[in-house]
Chains A and B, each alone.
Chain A
């Protein structure tokens, strides 16, 4: 089985994706007023330029993908196939953090994110993800990283991060 980055299907999808972004840019550019400055160069000039250029790039990528694959493609590091279960755990961590940060506060939310992500990363190494004991240990490790970071940035550098309580410590 060939390396996944050489697959025609995924390369085609990337080409199509670039075309899609270009399409979105064109759609957006239509609604930008053209109150032309000098030489017709108003606020909509660069959007059109970028959109058309990206359209050309997308077409080029698509062409390469269908005609023998991307040119001069260096084989990326790592495994041939992705470990999607590990990826799901890490993604869950990041997304849960995004969703819960303001409700749970920085420290708890980040500890949760850490515990979920570390589980996925460990699984990706082929090690057991761990039972309740390991999970508790991960959560505590997360707390021990997140709490000092929280204090350092909020107390010392006066950066606004959400807390669970108004005490400023959690």
Chain B
């Protein structure tokens, strides 16, 4: 405990140097901006900025990237409330009630409860990260390759098969990502795979390329193709202020949302979609103003999900830092940023790069304060961003995409590949394929392969190594449960529905 305190103080000393404070501030401001703007998310923004890892030192750039990540969550809610087009998936639920509130002249209260709720949740979640991450790391040191491999399998399964509409399309996306990860030199044997004789492919495909292609170029192309005539109307902003009554209704929702969101961030369940929906359902059930939900907009329905969202986002740092396993797309890209520095995320990180880890955690406390200031008194500034005409905004995104992709490897060839991946992105979006499995598969695939082959050499070639060790057997059991349980529930529900139909028909 005392140890943690010492480390955290040290972290604050590093994070509070003027240069690191500046990085944190720029990250938070940029994150808020891209959160507010439609078309760009934190994952693709961090991806576009990955080239800076060649120049900027690791601590500063991780503070910067983390600022973008949670800044986007603050900013995303502003767009959800005022424009009803959620900037991020995590703020989808905020749009449900927030937009209704804004329609009825309570935009200010909705913005206030989401900003303060984000602050409360972000701070509480950071405290939880501070307390739990070292414990998890201590425990994780004992895990071997078989356990890691099973955890990665679990991450693959949840991101592709459990979330999203269709398991088949999720798996297709996952295997596409895994295939992309195969290109280049094999980590263990040095064997060259799938380069097709193209020298550019020797070092593998950069994740920047895939992320920017799918998310940025794909988004721009999709917009040109299909979204030109989609109407967008902006709610008017009024004074950002909450009455005493609104405070009283908000704070229990914040706390419930925080507690709900945190565990979901730590498990590979695809980030913040599930906890925000759960929080919304909880608030709706518990509220004494249920008639406001879906009509004039209930403040609890904004406060809870917003808190859950930020709490989950912060919690993704626990598995990322202690196990090296990303549980969201942005976390996956943060992982590849660490890889660019040759830093291996995992339990050893708390020993080998303890300075970086604790500075990062300390910067979360600082960043949340910055974001509260950026998003409460200054919210009017960000709203102006929504006035940028759509055509110019999306065309501008292409310029930034070029910086990210070309800046990474100085190769024009990559720019052509980026366009191809953009087309793939349009198709995937049009036919409802999830995109997250591609990114997670691509980044985690090579790591999982290495762990699997190491595990097999530990087991002297026997596959039974995965079930002989208690931890990995448990993980495999959880994996089976995760895959089977939703199907059983669905089957039972459909059987019951059919049973009722039969009764009704009688």
Chain A residues within CB distance 8 Å of chain B:
4-5, 10-11, 14, 18, 21, 25, 28, 32-33, 35, 37-39, 41-47, 50-51, 53-54, 57-58, 60-61, 64, 70-74, 76-79, 82-84, 86-87, 89-91, 93-95, 97-99, 101-102, 106, 110, 113-114, 117-118, 120-126, 141-142, 145-146, 149, 153, 157-162
B462: nearest chain-A partner, CB-CB: A39
A51 to chain B, nearest CB (A): 8
Cβ contact of A145, chosen from B55, B189, B193, B399, cutoff 8 A = B399
Which chain A residues border B246 with CB–CB below 8 Å?
A: none
Alpha-carbon gap, A44 to B223, bound state (A): 40
A101, B171: Cβ atoms closer than 8 Å: no
Question: Which residues of B come within 8 Å of A, CB atoms?
Answer: 51-52, 54-56, 165-166, 168-169, 171-172, 175-176, 178-179, 182, 186, 188-189, 191, 193-194, 196, 217, 220-230, 390-392, 394-396, 398-400, 402-403, 406-407, 410, 412, 415-416, 418-419, 422, 427, 429-432, 445, 449, 452-453, 456-457, 459-463
Question: Known: A70-B169, A94-B217. Is A124-B410 also a contact (CB below 8 A)?
Answer: no
Interchain Cβ contacts under 8 Å between A and B, 11 examples = A5-B430, A38-B456, A41-B456, A46-B178, A79-B227, A95-B419, A97-B398, A114-B396, A121-B220, A121-B395, A158-B54
A72 and B463 in contact, given A25-B179, A41-B452, A161-B407 (Cβ under 8 angstroms): no
Q: Are B220 and A117 interface neighbours, CB within 8 A?
A: yes
Residues in A whose Cβ lies below 8 Å from that of B432 = 5, 70, 73-74, 76
Name the residue of chain B whose CB is nearest to the CB of A121.
B391
Q: Which B residues are CB-close (under 8 A) to A98? A: 412, 415-416, 418-419
Within 8 Å by CB of A83, from B225, B402, B445, lies B225
Q: With the chains together, A121 CA to B392 CA distance in Å?
A: 8
Instruction: Pick from A83, A98, A161 the residue with the most CB of B within 10 Å.
Output: A98
In the complex, which residues of chain A have a beta carbon less than 8 angstroms from the beta carbon of B228? 79, 83, 86, 121, 123-126
Decide: A57 near B229, CB < 8 A? Known: A38-B461, A50-B178, A71-B166.
Answer: no
The closest CB in chain A to the CB of B54 belongs to A159
With known contacts A113-B399, A118-B392, A50–B182 Cβ distance under 8 A: yes
12 more CB-based (< 8 A) A-B contacts, given A42-B191, A43-B186? A37-B189, A38-B457, A38-B460, A50-B182, A90-B398, A94-B217, A97-B398, A106-B402, A106-B406, A113-B395, A149-B403, A160-B410
B443 to chain A, nearest CB (A): 15
When chains A and B are docked, how far (Å) is the Cα of A54 from the Cα of B174?
9
Please measure, in the bound complex, the distance between the C-alpha atom of A151 and the C-alpha atom of B225, giving whole angstroms: 32
Q: In the complex the two chains form, what is the Cα distance from A113 to B217 in whole Å? A: 12
Check if A159 sits within 8 Å of B226, measured CB to CB.
no
